[in-house]
Structure 1
């Protein structure tokens, strides 16, 4: 253990001594999760390793619109921006594209007119369908009939939020197999002659159509920026940036039930099963009880990971004083899986997050951004406004630090040594996949050059713990299916193999080969000892 700690200390010192990077990988330690990070910027989508080297990239003719995922079959699904609609606000999209691993366009979904437009987020369902967010228009007369105060219709109309589950068909067709609309779940206490009249506090499963959260009542009053799905619970989590609240709804309903307050596994139809972040929105508190400020990417932490079943999110902090962002993990109180505790006139719990990370005032992104729990207990954070990715270990130490070297508006690529950008290189979200993710099966994961020009790989080179480089050592094949060979004139005394969690999983003596057949697919660290010198290599097991 002492030797390992000294090794890590050496690495950290090495980073500060040798790494002069201003973009790309700034620093990385052995405690970083050795996965592959996916993100979109301008018209490109990149998959990179911890050294910032590009493992794959995809090209589109559309700017981001915004989220992107790799499917279990290795295809890429990406939201793009198509400016063919008068529905306009930050995060609008209009089109979804599906590419194969080699970048060929397989399918696209165009949903962009003056009456509806895709935006922000999508979610690929386990059944092969896709959940999408679509803003649609509620005309002025209909908004007033729904109980909206006419004084709060400063833009004339309102945007309804529609969730569609679509089934891709052919190359550009789709079937809508399920639908949910926020306009079916409104409450108002403004006008008893209009629809949805009732006591707001008595209806926490519905949305007060006149709650503005201190804003001016523009048509984009909700600004939903995220949609995520929990298969175990069959529940959807959505995030309203403008109302600073997250909502959980039931996906098990029929479309007809989703338009009501009854039916489905949980018996509440399409009404909110749970809400959190701003209890003033349903008359269960005041502005001082608010905990969320323009948050992004709330989602349930998957089973098998640390804090599984809790909700993690990026709390941007936009609109509060002082300005700072946080990563939060909350644990919704439940009486059974997916059944949330609620006491009349008492705000949904918890009263405080289980976990909060902040580094105020330096940590702040007013828009975009994400936080993701990783299999080794680390947390990947994306400060979206400045294209800054960093990974925290369980003690909140930064173990990977990366600056996106591409301008999101122009696509211009920075050179290593250029000033670190403080704007322009924004991105919506970063997702890190395990190297043994099923979508990578049979794919060539050999890394190429980093994105930035004039790149410098010193931060990764220091991951080797040898004081004297054994440059004459060659390890092949890499990736490897069965046996890896070490080509060198040196006498190799011992070989050790470690997994990405730092656990030693194999040892061999007085040999220049090592049998990898029994190991699972993934990335491993090969350490070769020759006298008092040690050489470390990363190898990929197919």
Structure 2
């Protein structure tokens, strides 16, 4: 998949949010901070392509996941190697679990939580509803998800297992899905109070898991999201997510960014492309609400990253120039997620000087 032009497409300096954007190309090694004009301002060298993505921590550190060759990979998003780098690329923390996939977060207590795959027990498999019968993995395996929290020493201090939660077991998988995986958790994030918000692709569910009870305490299913990604709770208590828009009944596939009010169940804000099909990624992808009120969107499959105003105007647009593969018979420039950071914020702390 190639655009005719990569790099910066447009930049409205008066309305775009100044900062540096972090990109971890999905099929290449290396992580890059780019300026508003698309220029690379800083990079970290990594030993492999990412286990999806990376993001910055305070003090100029980077938390990154790399893809290991061992362990299962039933549904994409494989990682396995978690590493924290300092600004100069030195490894300051490392943890391995070759069942880790998709997402990982540094928590407010200094621990790290991540998603992993595990085989469903026989009794739990019998309760899985929906999807295409006979489409389990080899040997009839259905892979479920777990969350594991580890402290800086690598000790496990908390776990949660999707197949043990009655709320999720009561939900049927999408009819178009395979039964290789139950749930397919693709994002985890901490919310105020310490509970965790999760996104489950296989049945278009957003859920909040209580750290105390280890049970889903709130969830919302909306098949119109079309197997969403990247659920994040905003400062106003609403939930921002990337609605991929596959296996839906709209007549034409297209993606949306949805800001959901979890108390009312109503959409507080929605972004669509114009026309709708001009914005579409069937997998990966994410969105970040910026400090200006604008939203940074990562249209993951085609590697397009752009910023929109609350009115939906595009004020900054960039296409990743980093291609790798092979993927589906060719080279691709996909990006799982992208994040923007303030020049003098706690992550960069002025290390790159002014935003050009």
TM-score, shorter chain, exceeding 0.5: yes
**Which residue does the alignment assign to 2:272?**
358
Query: Is 2:230 the counterpart of 1:270?
Result: no
**Which residue does the alignment assign to 2:301?**
385
Q: Is the contact between residue 228 and residue 299 of structure 1 (CA under 8 Å) also seen in structure 2? A: yes
Q: Is the contact between residue 176 and residue 247 of structure 2 (CA under 8 Å) also seen in structure 1? A: no
Q: Is the contact between residue 199 and residue 228 of structure 2 (CA under 8 Å) also seen in structure 1? A: yes
Distance, in Å, in 2 between the alignment partners of 1:184 and 1:397 is: 44
Distance, in Å, in 1 between the alignment partners of 2:293 and 2:128 is: 46
**Which residue does the alignment assign to 1:249?**
209
Query: Is 2:240 the counterpart of 1:326?
Result: no
What do the CA deviations read for 1:396-415 (whole angstroms, capped 9, x no partner)? 1111010100114279xxxx
The structure whose residues are more often strand, as a share, is 2
**Which residue does the alignment assign to 1:300?**
233
**Which residue does the alignment assign to 2:8?**
25
Which of structures 1 and 2 has the larger relative contact order (alpha carbons within 8 angstroms, sep 6+)? Answer: 2
User: What are the ranges of 5 or more consecutive residues in structure 1 without an aligned counterpart?
Assistant: 1-20, 187-205, 254-268, 279-289, 303-307, 334-348, 412-421, 447-478, 480-522, 524-537
Closer, same or farther: CA 142–83 of 1 in aligned 2, 3 Å = farther
Detail structure 1 runs of 4+ shifted over 6 Å in the superposition.
Answer: none
- What secondary structure does 2:347 align onto? helix
Query: Is 2:164 the counterpart of 1:184?
Result: yes
Task: Tell me how far 1:149 sits from its aligned partner.
Answer: 7.0
Task: Tell me how far 1:183 sits from its aligned partner.
Answer: 1.9
Distance, in Å, in 2 between the alignment partners of 1:386 and 1:153 is: 29
**Which residue does the alignment assign to 1:211?**
172
Q: Is the contact between residue 67 and residue 122 of structure 1 (CA under 8 Å) also seen in structure 2? A: no
Q: Is the contact between residue 160 and residue 214 of structure 2 (CA under 8 Å) also seen in structure 1? A: yes
Task: Tell me how far 1:309 sits from its aligned partner.
Answer: 1.4
Distance, in Å, in 2 between the alignment partners of 1:106 and 1:409 is: 29
What do the CA deviations read for 1:78-111 (whole angstroms, capped 9, x no partner)? 0111121134321111111111111122222110
**Which residue does the alignment assign to 1:535?**
none
Distance, in Å, in 2 between the alignment partners of 1:248 and 1:387 is: 29
Task: Tell me how far 1:76 sits from its aligned partner.
Answer: 0.7
Task: Tell me how far 1:210 sits from its aligned partner.
Answer: 6.7
Aligned pair count reads 340
Q: Is the contact between residue 8 and residue 38 of structure 2 (CA under 8 Å) also seen in structure 1? A: yes
**Which residue does the alignment assign to 2:240?**
312
Closer, same or farther: CA 313–44 of 1 in aligned 2, 3 Å = same
Q: Is the contact between residue 224 and residue 245 of structure 2 (CA under 8 Å) also seen in structure 1? A: no
- What secondary structure does 2:298 align onto? strand
The one of 282, 287, 292 aligned to 1:376:
292
Query: Is 2:341 the counterpart of 1:433?
Result: yes
Closer, same or farther: CA 148–316 of 1 in aligned 2, 3 Å = closer
The one of 86, 89, 94 aligned to 2:75:
89
**Which residue does the alignment assign to 2:352?**
445
What do the CA deviations read for 1:246-285 (whole angstroms, capped 9, x no partner)? 111112x1xxxxxxxxxxxxxxx2222211133xxxxxxx
- What secondary structure does 2:203 align onto? coil
Distance, in Å, in 2 between the alignment partners of 1:423 and 1:296 is: 23
Q: Is the contact between residue 293 and residue 310 of structure 2 (CA under 8 Å) also seen in structure 1? A: yes
Distance, in Å, in 1 between the alignment partners of 2:196 and 2:271 is: 25
Query: Is 2:45 the counterpart of 1:63?
Result: no
- What secondary structure does 1:439 align onto? coil
The one of 189, 212, 227 aligned to 2:188:
227
Distance, in Å, in 2 between the alignment partners of 1:392 and 1:148 is: 40
Distance, in Å, in 1 between the alignment partners of 2:256 and 2:199 is: 16
Q: Is the contact between residue 324 and residue 331 of structure 2 (CA under 8 Å) also seen in structure 1? A: no
Task: Tell me how far 1:310 sits from its aligned partner.
Answer: 0.6
User: What are the ranges of 5 or more consecutive residues in structure 2 without an aligned counterpart?
Assistant: none
**Which residue does the alignment assign to 2:127?**
147
TM-score by length of 1: 0.60
TM-score by length of 2: 0.89
Distance, in Å, in 1 between the alignment partners of 2:306 and 2:239 is: 20
